[in-house]
């Protein structure tokens, strides 16, 4: 059987196209002859991650990024499709973290989770984005920058305060303060000199005073026996006072005060002769009436003596009534009270 040239050209073209397709996918990292599973991860941003980028596990390539596209919910998030080889097993709680090298090339690194349940084809993994070198530097430098700015602001404030403080008036005040200190030290020095001169001049008096104190101490030593006798007498007096039964004395005094209080209480209550005398109003009224009657009797004897003495050389005198006696007595007291009498 003879094969036509056209058939040969067609076969060669198909094989060439298959080889080109396989080579292109191979260069992209896809192996057409190996089975793979698809997993998904959702990110707010992918920082330049694109298709055909490597997926690694502990630094070893286990797949590739098959596709990157926007989430259909319109939130602007991105879905990354990860093709992982079938013979690679990892936990369902593993994290798909976007990372980059120092040149900025992006890839996806799988970080194994602790969940024992294995990930199945079509599962959505947890997502995370590793900070870039610039982000890490900014993260470390940002606090230092903030502190430096605060420090510079504080230094500016201090400089402003110092500049405002060290004006011409303040400088003059400093000069005056130092001059006052200098004068104070000079005064202190003069005072010390005066004290030295006074001590030198009073040296003889100090010697005399010390000698007098020594003499007093000698006299005390010489009269030690007499002082001992005096202290012994004081000790005897204190012993005598200590032997006095103050408790019994105060008890007797307290009993006497209680008895006196009871007697006063009985008098106030009208008990006994003294109580009746002090608390009986009728007795007081009787005494008052008796005093009034005695006073009227004395006045009657004064103004009507003929009632009581019948003998008279001139005959019987006039007799006055009680009203007349009271009137005459009032006139007499009024004349007596007048000035000049």
Q: What ranges do the domains of the chain cover?
A: 1-33, 35-130, 281-329
pLDDT of 30 reads 54
Count the neighbouring beta carbons within 10 Å of the beta carbon of residue 78.
17
Report the alpha-carbon distance of residue 214 to residue 218 in Å, rounded.
6
Report the alpha-carbon distance of residue 297 to residue 311 in Å, rounded.
20
Share of the chain above pLDDT 90, in %: 8
pLDDT of 40 reads 94
C-alpha distances in angstroms, 169 versus 30, 227, 276?
84, 73, 96
Q: What is the mean pLDDT of residues 89-108?
A: 85
Q: What is the mean pLDDT of residues 74-96?
A: 88
Report the alpha-carbon distance of residue 99 to residue 308 in Å, rounded.
154
pLDDT of 133 reads 54
Confidence of residue 79 (pLDDT cuts 50, 70, 90): very high
Parallel, antiparallel, or unpaired for β 36-43 and 78-85? Answer: antiparallel
Mean pLDDT of the chain: 77
pLDDT of 313 reads 46
Question: Which of residues 125 and 270 earns the better pLDDT score?
Answer: 125
Q: For residue 40, with 0-12 CB atoms within 10 Å meaning exposed, 13-18 middle and 19 or more buried, which class applies?
A: middle
Q: Which tokens hold the place of 97?
A: 């973290």
Q: What is the mean pLDDT of residues 235-260?
A: 73
Q: For residue 5, with 0-12 CB atoms within 10 Å meaning exposed, 13-18 middle and 19 or more buried, which class applies?
A: exposed
Any residues with CB less than 8 A from the CB of 320 and at least 6 apart, and which? Answer: 303, 304, 328
45-66 pLDDT, tens per residue? Answer: 988 888 888 898 888 888 889 8
Answer whether residue 152 shows pLDDT above 50.
yes
CA torsion, ordered 187, 193, 194, 199, to nearest 10 deg: 150
Q: What is the mean pLDDT of residues 134-156?
A: 75
pLDDT of 68 reads 92
268-312 pLDDT, tens per residue? Answer: 776 766 666 666 677 667 777 777 777 777 777 777 766 666 544
Confidence of residue 164 (pLDDT cuts 50, 70, 90): low
Answer whether residue 69 shows pLDDT above 90.
yes
- Reported pTM: 0.35
Q: Report, at the CATH architecture level, how domain 35-130 is classified.
A: Beta Barrel (2.40)
Least confident range from 86-90, 131-135, 259-263: namely: 131-135
Report the alpha-carbon distance of residue 107 to residue 87 in Å, rounded.
20
Answer whether residue 105 shows pLDDT above 70.
yes
Share of the chain above pLDDT 70, in %: 77
């Amino acid at each position: 059987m003879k094969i036509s040239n056209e058939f040969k050209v067609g076969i060669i073209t198909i094989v060439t196209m298959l080889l080109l397709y396989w080579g292109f996918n191979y260069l992209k990292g896809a192996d057409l002859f190996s089975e793979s599973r698809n997993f998904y991860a959702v990110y707010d941003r992918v920082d330049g991650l694109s298709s055909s980028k490597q997926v690694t596990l502990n630094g070893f390539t286990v797949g590739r990024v098959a596709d990157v596209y926007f989430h259909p919910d319109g939130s602007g998030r991105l879905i990354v499709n990860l093709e992982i080889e079938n013979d690679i097993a990892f936990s369902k709680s593993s994290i798909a973290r976007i990372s980059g090298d120092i040149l900025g090339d992006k890839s996806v690194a799988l970080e194994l989770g602790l969940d024992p349940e294995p990930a199945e084809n079509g599962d959505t993994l947890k997502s995370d984005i590793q900070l870039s070198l610039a982000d890490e530097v900014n993260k470390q430098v940002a606090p230092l920058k903030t502190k430096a700015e605060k420090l510079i602001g504080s230094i500016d404030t201090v400089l402003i305060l110092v500049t405002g403080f060290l004006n011409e008036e303040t400088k003059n005040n400093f000069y005056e303060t130092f001059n006052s200190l200098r004068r104070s030290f000079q005064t202190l020095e003069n005072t010390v000199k005066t004290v030295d001169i006074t001590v030198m001049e009073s040296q003889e008096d100090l010697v005399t005073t010390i000698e007098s104190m020594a003499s007093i101490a000698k006299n005390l030593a010489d009269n030690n026996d007499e002082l001992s006798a005096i202290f012994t007498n004081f000790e005897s007096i204190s012993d005598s006072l200590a032997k006095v039964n103050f408790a019994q004395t105060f008890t007797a005094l307290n009993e006497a005060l209680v008895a006196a209080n009871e007697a006063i209480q009985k008098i106030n209550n009208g008990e006994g002769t003294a109580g009746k005398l002090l608390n009986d109003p009728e007795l007081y009224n009787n005494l008052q009436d008796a005093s009034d009657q005695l006073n009227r009797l004395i006045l009657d004897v004064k103004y009507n003596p003929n009632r009581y003495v019948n003998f008279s050389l001139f005959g019987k005198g006039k007799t006055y009534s009680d009203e007349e006696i009271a009137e005459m007595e009032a006139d007499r007291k009024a004349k007596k009270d007048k000035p000049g009498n």
